[in-house]
Amino acid sequence: MAVNGFLQKGTGGSFLLIGGAEDKEGECLILREFVRLAGGERASIVVITTATRLPGEVGEAYRRVFLRLGADNVLPVHLDSREKAGDPRHAAILQRATGIFFTGGDQLRIARILGRTLFEHALEAASRAGVVIGGTSAGAAAMGEIMIADGRGGRSPGKNTVKMAPGLGLISGVVIDQHFAQRGRIGRLLAAVAHNPHVLGIGIDEDTAIVVSPAGRFAVLGSGTVTVVDGRTIEHTNASDLQPQPMLALTGVTLHVLPQGYGYDFKSQKPYSPGSSFGEGTF
């Protein structure tokens, strides 16, 4: 689904992308919504633990919480090599899923192991068929066509504050950062957009998520906020200059901060407010 430069390869499925450290013991608002989107009591969820170095522990933790929230079946799957990601038996597992969830860890492991494999093609097919795909922390960052692979937070943005790498590309036209406010990552997201002004920067706080619909908009869910950085309005940046100035100059960039109830429409390229009928209440 192409929407003014933003594209979901899956025309039928939603995405639920979490900034990490989501509630797993209390109300579990975000994970409960994932189970609902996956079919509720009929949900059959595959948990992909490729990003983590503790697959048994992490996979079991999500298996327990999804079952407690009402899912019918939850299967953790750990793919730690491209050979496994190319095995048709693993790809076939996704054909029975109504929800696919990526855990946190290292987003480079997801891209390097799953990228351009039979398993990635199966992911795209599942999304086109209407399967909801979720991810937390690294699992959210890897969904974009490009992703932030590394970069320091908590400091003034420099030209070389951030390192980029290809993601899975299930959603293109965006770059997603996570643990956003908690780790002071506004500088590296600004740098990412300065170097790639054609993409929309989306920074998601902990215990916060965006639910991206096939209609081309996302809604914010959770206890924090989502920061949207729009580079289309940039007037000037020194991001590509060869001069020795190490700090980033950036003027005219548009920034939105959106808590629960707010959202963003890719068609109008504007945020919208709570309680508004869609297309009304935009800013």
pLDDT (tens digit per residue) in 16-28: 999 999 999 999 9
Would you call 156 a catalytic residue per the annotation?
Answer: no
pLDDT bin (cut points 50, 70, 90) of residue 10 is very low
Q: What is the pLDDT of residues 173-197, one digit of tens each?
A: 999 999 999 999 999 999 999 999 9
The pLDDT score that the predictor gives to residue 242 is: 76
pTM beyond cutoff 0.75: yes
* Residue 251, burial from CB neighbour count under 10 angstroms (0-12, 13-18, 19+): exposed
The per-residue pLDDT for 161 is 83
Q: Into which CATH architecture does domain 2-266 fall? A: 3-Layer(aba) Sandwich (3.40)
C-alpha span between 84 and 267 (Å, rounded): 38
Report whether 253 contacts 193 (CB < 8 A). Answer: yes
Q: What is the pLDDT of residue 254?
A: 97
pLDDT, greater one: 187 or 280: 187
Q: Which residue is catalytic, options 137, 145, 172, 195?
A: 137
Higher local confidence (pLDDT), 44 or 158 = 44
Q: Looking at residue 66, what is its pLDDT?
A: 98
Residues 6+ apart with CB under 8 A from 15: 8, 132, 133, 134, 135, 143, 170, 171, 210, 211, 212
pLDDT the model gives residue 2 = 40
Query: How many beta carbons lie within 10 A of that of residue 275, not counting itself?
Result: 8
pLDDT in tens, 210-267: 999 999 999 999 999 999 999 999 999 999 887 777 899 999 999 999 999 999 999 8
Task: Tell me the C-alpha distance between 117 and 140, whole Å.
Answer: 19
Q: Which amino acid is at 140?
A: A
Q: Which of 1-10, 215-224, 274-283 has the highest mean pLDDT?
A: 215-224
Radius of gyration of the chain (CA): 18
Confidence of residue 278 (pLDDT cuts 50, 70, 90): low
**226, 203 contact by CB (below 8 A):** yes
Residue 282 has pLDDT above 70, yes or no: no
Residue 179 catalytic?
A: yes
User: Does residue 195 have an active-site annotation?
Assistant: no
pLDDT at 56: 98
The rounded distance, in Å, linking the Cα atoms of 13 and 215 is: 10
- Res 3: pLDDT: 43
Per-residue confidence band for 153, with pLDDT thresholds at 50, 70 and 90: confident
Q: For residues 230 and 233, give the distance between their C-alpha atoms in angstroms, rounded to a whole number.
A: 7
Amino acid code (one letter) for 3: V
* Mean pLDDT computed over 101-120: 98
Q: What pLDDT shows up at residue 1?
A: 40
Say how far apart CA 135 and CA 109 lie, in whole Å.
Answer: 14
Q: How far is CA 235 from CA 6, 204, 252, 253, in A?
A: 22, 25, 5, 7
- Which candidate in 22, 90, 127, 179 is catalytic? 179
Question: pLDDT over 70 for what percent of the chain?
Answer: 94
Mean pLDDT (whole number) for 102-123: 97
Of 33, 120, 145, 206, catalytic: 206
Inform me whether the pLDDT recorded for 73 exceeds 80. Answer: yes
